[in-house]
């Protein structure tokens, strides 16, 4: 079993779509994939809104998806649980859910909430604590625009302080990049292992699944040349994509 944490530099950076894309790429590589969302905020039980796991299941169709706790208020999971009087998440319960998923799956993806140090549950444990307990690598989803260099560096530093490994994925690369985007692409700290095009989550699911491996380096089950990610970015579906999508390995 391989476990990956998917966290981010902040909220709204594209973690869910990146999680879906990794799931799609891994599935296309022959892996049986489980996706776990420990705490879902802003979508309470019985809501008509899509949860993050619902989005991943729709886009990527992994083998399984599981949300451990849902809260109606768009707050950090610990605060959201306290707001409605629900028992807070226990770190041990999340670890056990990952262990169980690993019995029947090759790859387990755990999507965090907000950034790396957001309080998740009882004792104010964080996604960083979960990564440390599982001793697994973390995908750090970052913005393409202004401010991302500092936020990405701080997140990677927090991981390194705990002797954990982090890899960077840009969650939404604009169709018409400006100078700031190209500079950030070149200057982002850490190892860049993926770049998703803006609005990737709006693609039809079959197209999303067929394209996902083009957005990542082989570390995340993709086909992109790691040496060219920083040079090229993702400017949209180029002419050669249909051929690449249909080409067998």
Taking the C-alpha atoms of residue 135 and residue 129, their distance in angstroms, rounded to an integer, is: 10
Q: Is 14 exposed, middle or buried (0-12, 13-18, 19+ CB in 10 A)?
A: buried
Phi, psi of 69 (to 5 degrees): -150, 140
Which DSSP helix (H) or strand (E) runs through 58?
A: helix 52-60
Q: Is 37 annotated in the active site?
A: yes
Q: Which helix (H) or strand (E) holds 26?
A: helix 15-28
Contact of 138 with 4, CB cutoff 8 Å: yes
Closest CA to 158 of 166, 169, 170: 166
Tell me how far apart the alpha carbons of residues 132 and 91 are, in angstroms, rounded to a whole number: 11
Name the 3-class secondary structure at 116: coil
- Choose, from 37, 105, 143, 213, the residue flagged as catalytic: 37
Residue 31 dihedral angles phi and psi, to the nearest 5°: -90, 145
Q: Which residues are annotated as catalytic?
A: 37
């Amino acid at each position: 079993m391989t476990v990956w944490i998917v966290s981010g530099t902040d909220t709204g950076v594209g973690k869910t779509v990146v999680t879906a894309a990794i799931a799609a790429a891994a599935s296309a590589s022959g892996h049986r994939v489980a996706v776990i969302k420990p705490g879902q905020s802003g979508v309470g039980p019985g809501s008509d809104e899509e949860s993050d796991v619902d989005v991943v299941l729709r886009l990527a169709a992994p083998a399984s998806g599981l949300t451990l706790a849902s809260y109606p208020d768009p707050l950090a999971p610990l605060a959201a649980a306290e707001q409605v009087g629900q028992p807070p998440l226990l770190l041990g319960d999340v670890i056990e859910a990952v262990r169980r998923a690993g019995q029947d799956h090759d790859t387990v993806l755990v999507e965090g909430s907000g950034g790396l140090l957001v309080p998740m549950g009882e004792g104010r444990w964080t996604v960083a604590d979960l990564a440390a307990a599982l001793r697994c690598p973390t995908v750090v989803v970052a913005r393409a625009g202004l401010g991302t260099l500092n936020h990405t560096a701080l997140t990677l530093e927090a991981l390194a302080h705990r002797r954990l490994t982090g890899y960077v994925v840009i969650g939404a690369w604009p169709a018409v990049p400006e100078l700031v985007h190209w500079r950030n692409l070149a200057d982002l700290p850490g190892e860049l292992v993926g770049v998703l095009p803006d609005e990737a989550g709006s693609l039809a699911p079959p197209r999303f699944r067929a394209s996902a491996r083009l957005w990542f380096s082989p570390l995340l089950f993709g086909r992109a040349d790691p040496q060219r990610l920083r040079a090229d970015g993702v400017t949209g579906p180029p002419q050669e994509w249909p051929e690449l999508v249909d080409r067998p390995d």
